[in-house]
Structure 1
Amino acid sequence: MTNDALRPVYFLSDSTGITAETLGNTLLTQFPGNNFDRITIPFITTVHQARSVVGIIDDVAAAGPVPIVFSTAVSSDIRSILSECQGIMVDLIGTHVGQLEQALGSPASWEPGRAHGLGNAVRYQSRMAAVEYAMEHDDGQSLRALEKAQVILVAPSRCGKTPTTMYLALQHGIFAANFPLVDEDFEREGLPRSLKPFVSKCFGLTTNPLRLSQVRTERRRGSPYASLRQCGFELRSAERLYESHGIPYLNSASVSVEEMAATILQRMNLKH
């Protein structure tokens, strides 16, 4: 059954709130007939702040639908206070850490911010280096150190190359470059010359013509570049190019950046 009323949903954390949002929203996707009003409250680091948040949630609960509350607070004091709220509490940390302590035979550190803080400095620096690499090698701007790329995304313009390379870099520390395919490549039915030594690192993206035309129209309304005919031609040509060179590819039309990145990691056997 569908529910047209907005159900308040709170994501609470004593750190950034990213984990609470990610896990909580993943659970909420299993209830597509419901409408949610999402509120994130990060950096709840003091007892006073925790009590203030509880007051907010209690007021909302008294006025309408009972809020759903996802919490990744680590501090026992903060968690204890938040658990007193009148919302339906889903403790995403406390529920499971005890099980892991028992399984591993050692106590948890109970330190806030470890998931998205500097934590592992080496891994953090690696991700930042990957982001710098992706920015330098966006849209074929640079050929420098192309041999360092772990994957090179190729596709016609506006198929999702840039956000995917940036996500691979920021979230997974993957050195990713991307190159646009242009009319010259389609006429020759070959990869850009600079990519030929790295064909084994290439991964193609495609989409559907209507979707591509809509995206390009937002940028250049009424231009040949955005026409349905041109978009169809480029996508058919790109897929022929991928197949003739043995390049794996993915249709990005109805796939999120996260799903594209996961598929690329799996199909290219990339370690992260």
Structure 2
Amino acid sequence: MKINSQRRDVFYVSDGTAITCETLGHVVLSQFSFIPDEKTFPFVDSTERAAEVFKEIEASYQHSGIKPLVFFSIVLPEVREMVCRAPAHNYDVLGNIVQKVQDDIQMAPQPQLQRSRSVGKDSESYFDRIAAVEYTLAHDDGITLKGLDEADIILLGVSRSGKTPTSLYMAMQFGLRVVNYPLIAEDLAAIRLLPEFEIHRHKLFGLTIAPERLSEIRENRLSGSDYASAKQCQLEVDTVEALFRREAIPYITTSSLSVEEITSRILERTGLKRSLFC
């Protein structure tokens, strides 16, 4: 069978949320030119779940004849062993680091499943995160502008510039309360800041995107529409970026960035506290 070096199956497997595996995997794979076909398996904390993952990995290998890449983080030895028996290239995203720390401080680790640790030992933080997610969902895409005083940050940008996925990632991963508001085509003739935003200027942050990339994304949603046309996308981006500059709103371009990278750059620019949750 001829190997297609342009694509390769990639699995992220964890006994927790798998966010760490995905984040580290994305950083590593960005160094290579092939296209990853990714699947994520969170909460693999039993041999039954591990057996399901084993079958998925084995099926991938049998179909393509190419060993997939598996980035995993699993505490229980019997679960980890079952996943590692699958025909794949396996990468323990935490194993080498844990072993290095153990050697350096001469202290044995005491592994615990991530799910039980998150709620049981830090329930206040857990429920803070749930509240942040609920707030962010309620303020997605300009649904409401009530309660802006509770927001940690307000994201502005054209439709399809990455506001919603970034907002949800910031809420779920860092417990931040995020409002996102679309600057839509109908407002372009007299685009300005809403009065509701004036007293919250310090919370405003803009997302923009290359017009070509925006057109590509919109074509996938509404092919052949004015909404997706190169001319419309160029007009919207130019107008919104002019607003950001005029109103001194900090902003970044999301064209080639992952949600993780967008979030990291926002946190760096704004100085918002990173309250990381496992």
Give the TM-score of the pair, scaled to structure 1.
Answer: 0.78
Could you tell me how far 1:262 is from its partner in structure 2?
A: 1.2
Q: Is the 8 Å Cα contact of residues 185 and 191 (structure 1) preserved in structure 2?
A: no
Task: Give 1 or 2 for the bigger CA radius of gyration.
Answer: 1
Distance 1:141 1:48, change over 3 A: closer
Q: Is the 8 Å Cα contact of residues 60 and 68 (structure 2) preserved in structure 1?
A: no
Q: Is the 8 Å Cα contact of residues 152 and 202 (structure 1) preserved in structure 2?
A: yes
Tell me, in whole angstroms, the C-alpha distance in 2 between the residues paired with 1:224 and 1:162: 22
Question: What is the correspondence of 1:161-180 to structure 2 with a 5 Å cutoff?
Answer: 161-180=163-182
Distance 1:236 1:74, change over 3 A: same
Question: What is the correspondence of 1:33-182 to structure 2 with a 5 Å cutoff?
Answer: 33=34, 43-46=44-47, 53=54, 64-66=65-67, 68-79=69-80, 87-114=88-115, 117-118=118-119, 120-182=122-184
Distance 1:39 1:173, change over 3 A: closer
Tell me, in whole angstroms, the C-alpha distance in 2 between the residues paired with 1:80 and 1:221: 47
2:230 alignment partner in structure 1: 228
Tell me, in whole angstroms, the C-alpha distance in 2 between the residues paired with 1:183 and 1:260: 24
Q: Secondary structure at the match of 1:4?
A: coil
Q: Is the 8 Å Cα contact of residues 47 and 81 (structure 1) preserved in structure 2?
A: no
More deviation, 97-106/217-226: 217-226
Aligned pair count reads: 268
Distance 1:7 1:115, change over 3 A: farther
Distance 1:112 1:237, change over 3 A: same
Could you tell me how far 1:37 is from its partner in structure 2?
A: 6.2
Q: Secondary structure at the match of 1:204?
A: strand
Q: Is the 8 Å Cα contact of residues 211 and 253 (structure 1) preserved in structure 2?
A: yes
Given residue 111 of structure 1, which amino acid in structure 2 is its aligned partner? Q
Q: Is the 8 Å Cα contact of residues 74 and 94 (structure 1) preserved in structure 2?
A: no
The sequence identity of aligned pairs, in percent, is 36
More deviation, 222-231/142-151: 222-231
Q: Is the 8 Å Cα contact of residues 9 and 60 (structure 2) preserved in structure 1?
A: no
Deviations 1:32-70 (Å, cap 9, x if unpaired)? 24x6665656525249957x949x759959x94455544
Given residue 233 of structure 2, which amino acid in structure 1 is its aligned partner? C
Given residue 24 of structure 2, which amino acid in structure 1 is its aligned partner? L
Tell me, in whole angstroms, the C-alpha distance in 2 between the residues paired with 1:157 and 1:98: 46
Give the TM-score of the pair, scaled to structure 2.
Answer: 0.76
Tell me, in whole angstroms, the C-alpha distance in 2 between the residues paired with 1:59 and 1:214: 30
Deviations 1:105-151 (Å, cap 9, x if unpaired)? 54322112359853632222122111111111122222221012111
Distance 1:144 1:108, change over 3 A: same
Distance 1:97 1:47, change over 3 A: farther
Which consecutive residues of structure 2, in runs of 5 or more, have no partner in the other structure? Answer: none
Deviations 1:235-264 (Å, cap 9, x if unpaired)? 211111111111011122222222211111
Q: Secondary structure at the match of 1:262?
A: helix
Tell me, in whole angstroms, the C-alpha distance in 2 between the residues paired with 1:181 and 1:158: 10
Which consecutive residues of structure 1, in runs of 5 or more, have no partner in the other structure? Answer: none
Distance 1:255 1:40, change over 3 A: closer
